[in-house]
Chains A and B, each alone.
Chain A
Amino acid sequence: MKPSMGERVYLVGVYSVLTIVGLLCLLPLMHIASISTSSLQAVSAGRVTLFPVEMTFAAYTQLFENSPVVSAFNNSVAITLVGVVLSMGFTILAAYPLTRAYFLGRRLFMMGIVFTMLFNGGLIPTYLTIRNLELINTYWALWLPGLVSVFNMLVLRTFIENIPGEIDEASRMDGCGEWRYLLQVVLPLSMPVIATLALFYGVGYWNSFFSVLMYINEPDKYNIAVLVQQLIQSQMMLAQMNGLESSEQLNLSPDMVNSAAIIIMVLPLLFVYPLLQKYFVRGVMIGAVKG
């Protein structure tokens, strides 16, 4: 069937709106990347839009030489890697038993867990609990309180529930125990969901800011997020107080340093994102259909 005139106009509209929306998501990032690699003169004159003008990496060398960026970056990597392994392990341990029909008290535990999604003790009691456990200034304070995300757990549970019961029966016949069934049958089959959830946990830990601000007081334990935040705020104050005198000598402006810091924080995400994108769309949909 040949599309009518009206339909053609309609489709052109759809495609152009989506193109604009897509570009809107990309352009700010390009702008920031260009600012971080343009010369001071070009940035202050406002000549930088989407591509670097008079390219230089001064802002990056400055960041890597004179600040704790490198160690904060390493801290972030450590927090993320350990956090993902811990969270994923515990999410699996929570989701799998809840799919077993013969697990006594299953409904009760389920209700108890979902309730924590709707109601919580609040910030202050949580903080005091962590403090009483003497976890302040340790990364355990970052890993433990958010160890299992109920939502992620529900997604994984739904997926495991949909594994055909015949597979279960067959492996039992062959003498497969509970652990072996989980490790050698359920987990390999759940790889797409596990990859998705690992990405979500990973991004969460990489971006963690508030918990670090709350529980970590020693600056050398800060992660990259807190460091970038402090940088942005101090640069803002610097710009207000004494013009740009001190950084002018370095051929840098606060905007350039901020932008470079932002890019440093974004880059790892940009590397992982394309690898896992095909999984997370499916993963989220599994959770969504169940609701």
Chain B
Amino acid sequence: MFVPIIAFFVIFKYVPMGGAVIAFKKYNMMDGILHSPWVGFDNFRLLFSTPTPIQIIRNTLMLSLLSIVIGFPFPIILAILLNEVRRMWFKRMVQTLVYLPHFFSWIIVSGMIVTIFSQQNGIVSGWWESITGHTYPFLYREGSWLAIFVGSGIWKEAGFSAIIYLAALTSIDPALYEAASIDGASKWKQIRHVTLPGLQVTIVLMLILSMGRVMEVGFDQIYMLQNSTVSDVSEVISTYIYKVGLMGSQFSLTAAIGLFESLVGFVLVLITNAIARRFGHGLW
């Protein structure tokens, strides 16, 4: 029963991991991965001696840290707010609406963004023009592009991420709230001293998981939103590997960047978990 599963994980997960040795080779089609000549760390040296890859790694880190730092509190706040609602039909309706964007692909979301922010007759540009008197190329300026990038990420995922916090909230003992309220704690104080401590474990867990993903910002979102005008901030590892590696057949060089990405991500998870464990909330 389990044999196909082992086969799957070996062929599609562990073989590519072995294939990562391509980063230490000078790959050519004729010899394949195994028989191409070894070049040691040459690909990595080449990588870190040119400015483009370094800038791309910097962009990757910046974009994902930006989304994590700004986006992280939103699902928590949303879950706390939803938890306060006593009218079930209202709660269910809001939940239905906020989960929905999670199921749209970035193709859909970025299509909406392009339409809404388009300079010619997008609705946002229309408002902007009626307020300031001139149009503004929102998707073609670095500052506003970053804002749209982070904002669209929050719009798409904050609601769905709130599910996990909502689940954690249901496990808080209602007696704690009663006790707090009898002791005269205001709503605000109840959130600070009962709700947030109750969520602490989940918050730490989610933080560990998101730290592990620092090195990967989703391909689809960036690829669909980026344009040549903002490439200085928007070119990231995954889009670079796709364009230069796959389209330009620079397999070894970009595999080196990819391996670097995987390793850093892996180490980050280990470090965050070690820190979390010190506080007694480790993942393993």
Cα(A203)–Cα(B12), bound, Å: 21
Chain A 117-161 interface residues, beta-carbon cutoff 8 Å to B: 118-129, 132-133, 144-145, 147-148
Q: How far is the CB of A14 from chain B (nearest CB, A)?
A: 5
Given the interface pairs A11-B84, A121-B18, A124-B254, the reply to whether A93 lies near B1 with Cβ below 8 Å is: yes
The contact string, 1 if C-beta is below 8 Å from chain A, for chain B 201-241, is: 01001000000100000011001100000000000001001
B20 adjacent to chain A (CB < 8 Å): yes
Interface residue? A178 (CB, 8 A): yes
When the two chains form their complex, are residues A10 and B187 in contact, meaning their CB atoms are under 8 A apart? yes
Write the nearest CB–CB distance from B255 to chain A, whole angstroms.
4
How far, in whole Å, are A90 and B7 apart by their CA atoms in the complex? 11
Asked if A163 is an interface residue, CB under 8 A from chain B, the answer is no
The answer to whether B81 touches A46 (Cβ under 8 A) is: no
Over the window 97-118 of chain B, the binary record of Cβ atoms lying under 8 Å from chain A Cβ atoms (1 yes, 0 no) is 1111101111110111011101
Specify which chain A residues have a CB less than 8 angstroms from the CB of B111 in the assembled complex.
32, 228, 232, 258-259, 261-262
Instruction: For A236, list chain B residues within 8 Å (CB).
Output: 114
| CB <8 Å contact, A32 and B17 | no
Contact B1 A32 (CB under 8 A): no
Report which of B105, B167, B186 forms a contact with A289, defined as CB distance below 8 A.
B167
List of B residues within 8 angstroms of A122 by Cβ: 16, 20, 241, 255, 258-259, 261-262
In the bound complex, CA of A144 to CA of B5 (Å): 12
Assembled-state Cα–Cα distance A68/B186 (Å):
60
Give the Cβ gap from B208 to chain A, nearest Cβ, in Å.
10
Q: Is B266 an interface residue (CB 8 A)?
A: yes
Instruction: Indicate whether A70 reaches chain B with its CB closer than 8 angstroms.
Output: no
* Beta-carbon contact of A128 and B33 below 8 Å: yes
Query: Cβ of A125 and Cβ of B22 under 8 Å apart?
Result: yes
A46 to chain B, nearest CB (A): 4
Is A116 in contact with chain B by the CB < 8 A criterion?
Answer: yes
**Interface positions of A from 81 to 114, Cβ below 8 Å from B:** 90, 93-94, 96-97, 103, 109, 112-113
Count of B interface residues, CB-CB < 8 Å: 88
- Known contacts A25-B159, A96-B1, A124-B246; decide if A288 and B164 are in contact (CB<8 Å): yes
Known A120-B262, A269-B104, A284-B163; judge A129-B2 contact (CB<8 A). Answer: no
Contact A125 B5 (CB under 8 A): no
Residues of A within 8 Å of B122, CB to CB, are 255
Among A58-66, A168-176, A186-194, A207-215, the stretch that binds chain B is A207-215
Q: Does A46 contact B266, Cβ atoms closer than 8 Å? A: no
B138 proximal to A (CB < 8 A): no
A44-B121, A46-B126, A118-B266 known; A123 and B82 CB under 8 Å? no
A216 within 8 Å of B (CB atoms): no
- Is B105 a contact of A225 with CB atoms below 8 Å? yes
Q: Chain B contacts of A109 at CB under 8 A? A: 2, 6
Q: Across the interface, which residues of B come within 8 angstroms of A24, CB to CB?
A: 155
Closest residue of A by beta carbon distance from B281: A291
Complex contact A273–B121 (CB within 8 A): no
Q: How far is the CA of A262 from the CA of B170 in the complex (A)?
A: 37
How far, in whole Å, are A133 and B99 apart by their CA atoms in the complex?
38
> For residue B187, which residues in chain A have a CB less than 8 angstroms away from its CB?
6-7, 10
B178 CB to nearest A CB, Å? 11
Q: Which residue of A lies closest to B125 (CB)?
A: A46
Choice from B107, B112, B115 contacting A229 with Cβ under 8 Å: B107
Q: How far is the CB of A224 from chain B (nearest CB, A)?
A: 9
B200 at the interface (CB under 8 A from A): no
Say yes or no: A22 contacts B171, CB within 8 Å. no
Chain B hits for A103, CB < 8 A: 2
Looking at A10, A32, A229, which has the most chain B CB atoms within 10 Å of its CB?
A229
A119 nearest CB neighbor, chain B only = B266
CB distance from A16 to the nearest CB of B (A): 10
Across-interface contacts of A78 in B (CB, < 8 A) = none
Q: Is the CB of B266 within 8 A of A284?
A: no
A-B contact pairs, 10 of them (CB 8 A): A10-B187, A15-B90, A19-B94, A22-B97, A26-B97, A116-B14, A118-B269, A120-B262, A121-B20, A123-B238
- Add 4 more A-B contacts to A21-B98, A32-B112 (CB < 8 A): A122-B241, A144-B8, A232-B107, A255-B122
> B interface vs A, CB < 8 Å?
1-2, 4-6, 8-9, 11-20, 22, 32-33, 78, 81-82, 84-85, 90, 93-101, 103-108, 110-112, 114-116, 118, 120-123, 126, 155, 159, 163-164, 166-168, 170-171, 186-187, 202, 205, 212, 219-220, 223-224, 238, 241-242, 245-246, 251, 254-255, 258-259, 261-263, 265-266, 269, 283
